[in-house]
């Protein structure tokens, strides 16, 4: 691709077969939103759907809605929509709780299975820059169960996959760099040493094609409020390979995972299948918003689905990196995201030895919304993150975003004191 001019980017937008999907979203005025990897944009259909859930289903129909509005089935109904995006089948996915809690469920189950099958193994292996909450959950669980959490760099994963590894726990697309692991190869490598694979799809579900069954993965969790556009803190999801589902139940044994929740028996009998990965009553209003958010992907199915979305995503991230290289020379940026197509997700991450936070703030002040992720001051640099959501980001958006970065650097705007004050959440 040699596209550089605004006119050429606008032409790409006009030719984009997915361009109509942008109309499904309430794009905020005057904003180039490159943070759909953190919080997806509001779908236009969502306000009315949530209002209906509030005023009609709750307000008028009250408890009847557990049946008539399908509240009780909503976790599975939403799960079935997500299943289509991640290579799972109907009734293999449930939407519930948070990503952290779902990870606790599947990692508990994975450890229990590993303990039964390979009692001598004692390592849970993960990546040092895996999303911290995943590492926190694993750290506590390993301590409780007598396992050791071993953290290595991405390039060390293969050599660390030894016979002592019980569970390989990875995030498919790295939240910092956007680097994507090969799920099929990594899972095969895990299986080759008798380890189970647990995948966090937070930055891949809805962003890149995922084929859990095709990769013979063992467990997966993911996030509802990033690329799935479910709204702030939307419930997460959980998938378990059917060969494992009925073998063990997870420790959060609440009544929604019971075989007969309304029999109110005092002893726990897990439901068959993925239902046992539910725990307590789910937040129906937030779950309804997630249900509606997923409908954009059903629309996308008529336009080529995840394959077409992936093609556009790669074109967007490719364009972004190309423009960074051609327009921002001499401004000290590095690109942390892999240039090779099959090694990256749907974001571009820039590095800079100083000022990353202030530059992101200066861009936000101009209406270009990305975000900042702190490095560790050693191996892992500070990151300027730009998520390129193919459902609603266009090629001209990318062009303007890089133009703004250039202007912020050319004018030294980012060095204004007001951009260096850190807020609680960025």
Ranges of beta strands (E only) in 81-164 are: 93-95, 123-127, 148-152
Instruction: Of 336, 371, 337, give the one whose Cα is nearest residue 357.
Output: 371
Q: What does the per-residue mask of binding to a copy of itself show for 346-385, with x meaning CB under 8 A?
A: -----------------------x-x-xx-x---------
Q: How many CA atoms, within 13 angstroms, populate the side-chain half-sphere of residue 409?
A: 18
Q: Of 25, 104, 131, 227, which is the active-site residue? A: 131
Task: Confirm whether 385 is a catalytic residue.
Answer: yes
**3-state DSSP: the chain helix, strand, coil percent, rounded to 5?**
45, 15, 40
The 3-state DSSP class for residue 392 equals coil
- Cα angle 78-230-32, degrees, rounded to a multiple of 5: 145
Q: Between β-strands 219-222 and 237-240, what pairing exists: parallel, antiparallel or unpaired?
A: antiparallel
The tokens for 232 are 């702030």
CB 1 within 8 A of CB 321: no
Minimum distance from CB of 280 to a copy of itself (Å)? 3
Query: Which range in 7-15, 135-143, 157-165, 406-414 contacts a copy of itself by CB under 8 A?
Result: 135-143
170 membership: H or E segment, kind and range: strand 165-171
Size of the site for a copy of itself (CB under 8 A): 88
116-119, Cβ contacts within 8 angstroms, sequence gap of 24 or more:
117/194, 118/166, 118/194
Cα 193 to chain centroid distance, Å, stands at 28
Quick check: 125 binds a copy of itself (CB under 8 A)? no
DSSP letter, residue 323:
H
Minimum distance from CB of 410 to a copy of itself (Å)? 26
Site for a copy of itself in 333-352 (CB under 8 A): none
Minimum distance from CB of 151 to a copy of itself (Å)? 6
Task: Confirm whether 226 is a catalytic residue.
Answer: yes
Q: Of 22, 226, 276, 310, which is the active-site residue? A: 226
CB 54 within 8 A of CB 71: no
Q: What does the per-residue mask of binding to a copy of itself show for 187-226, with x meaning CB under 8 A?
A: --------------------------------------x-
Name which position in 162, 182, 265, 412 contacts a copy of itself (CB under 8 A). Answer: 265
In the complex with a copy of itself, which residue's Cβ is closer, 75 or 87?
Answer: 75
Quick check: 17 binds a copy of itself (CB under 8 A)? no
CB 203 within 8 A of CB 117: no
Name which position in 3, 46, 313, 317 contacts a copy of itself (CB under 8 A). Answer: 46
Task: Confirm whether 25 is a catalytic residue.
Answer: no
Name which position in 77, 122, 213, 281 contacts a copy of itself (CB under 8 A). Answer: 281
Q: Of 25, 147, 175, 225, which is the active-site residue? A: 225
Q: Which value, to the nearest 10 degrees, does the dihedral of the CA atoms of residues 59, 96, 133, 88 take?
A: -140
Minimum distance from CB of 146 to a copy of itself (Å)? 12
Quick check: 275 binds a copy of itself (CB under 8 A)? no
In the complex with a copy of itself, which residue's Cβ is closer, 104 or 147?
Answer: 104
Quick check: 99 binds a copy of itself (CB under 8 A)? yes
CB 43 within 8 A of CB 292: yes
Quick check: 114 binds a copy of itself (CB under 8 A)? no
CB 84 within 8 A of CB 101: no
Quick check: 420 binds a copy of itself (CB under 8 A)? no
Q: What residues form DSSP beta bridges with 171? A: 200
Task: Confirm whether 320 is a catalytic residue.
Answer: no
Q: Of 344, 385, 397, 419, which is the active-site residue? A: 385
Query: Which range in 4-12, 57-65, 117-125, 154-162 contacts a copy of itself by CB under 8 A?
Result: 57-65
Which residues does the annotation mark as catalytic?
A: 131, 200, 225-226, 385
């Amino acid at each position: 691709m040699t596209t550089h001019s605004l006119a050429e980017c606008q032409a790409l937008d006009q030719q984009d077969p997915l361009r109509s999907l942008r109309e499904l979203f309430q794009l905020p005025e005057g904003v180039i939103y490159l943070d759909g990897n953190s919080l997806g944009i509001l779908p236009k259909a969502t306000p009315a759907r949530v209002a209906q859930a509030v005023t009609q289903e709750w307000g008028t129909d009250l408890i009847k809605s557990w049946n008539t509005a399908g509240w009780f089935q909503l976790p599975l109904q939403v799960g079935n929509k997500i299943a289509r995006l991640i290579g799972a089948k109907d009734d293999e996915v449930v939407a519930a709780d948070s990503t952290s809690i779902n990870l606790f469920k599947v990692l508990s189950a994975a450890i229990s299975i590993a303990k039964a099958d390979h009692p001598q193994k004692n390592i849970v292996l993960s990546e040092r820059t895996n999303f911290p909450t995943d590492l926190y959950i694993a750290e506590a669980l390993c301590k409780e169960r007598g396992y050791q959490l071993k953290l290595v760099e991405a390039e060390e994963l293969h050599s660390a996959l030894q016979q002592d590894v019980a569970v390989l726990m990875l995030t498919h697309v790295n939240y910092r760099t956007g680097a994507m692991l090969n799920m099929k190869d990594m899972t095969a490598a895990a299986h080759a040493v008798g380890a189970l694979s647990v995948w966090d799809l937070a930055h891949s579900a809805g962003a890149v094609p995922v084929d859990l069954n095709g990769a013979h993965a063992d467990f997966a969790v993911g996030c509802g409020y990033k690329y799935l556009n479910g709204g702030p803190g939307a419930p997460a999801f959980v998938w378990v390979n059917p060969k494992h589902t009925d073998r063990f139940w997870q420790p959060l044994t609440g009544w929604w995972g019971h075989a007969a929740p309304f029999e109110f028996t005092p002893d726990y009998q897990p439901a068959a299948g993925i239902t046992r990965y539910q725990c307590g009553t789910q937040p129906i209003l937030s779950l309804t918003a997630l249900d509606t958010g997923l409908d954009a992907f059903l629309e996308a199915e008529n336009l080529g689905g995840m394959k077409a979305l992936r093609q556009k995503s790669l074109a967007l991230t490719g364009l972004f990196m190309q423009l960074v290289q051609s327009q921002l020379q001499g401004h000290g940026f590095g690109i942390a995201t892999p240039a090779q197509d099959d090694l990256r997700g749907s974001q571009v991450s820039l590095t800079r030895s100083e000022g990353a936070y202030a530059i992101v703030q200066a861009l936000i002040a101009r209406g270009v919304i990305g975000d900042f992720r702190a490095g560790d001051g050693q191996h892992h640099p500070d990151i300027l993150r730009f998520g390129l959501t193919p459902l609603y980001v266009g090629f001209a958006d990318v062009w303007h975003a890089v133009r703004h970065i250039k202007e912020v650097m050319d004018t030294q705007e980012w060095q204004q004191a007001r951009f260096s004050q850190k807020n609680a959440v960025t």
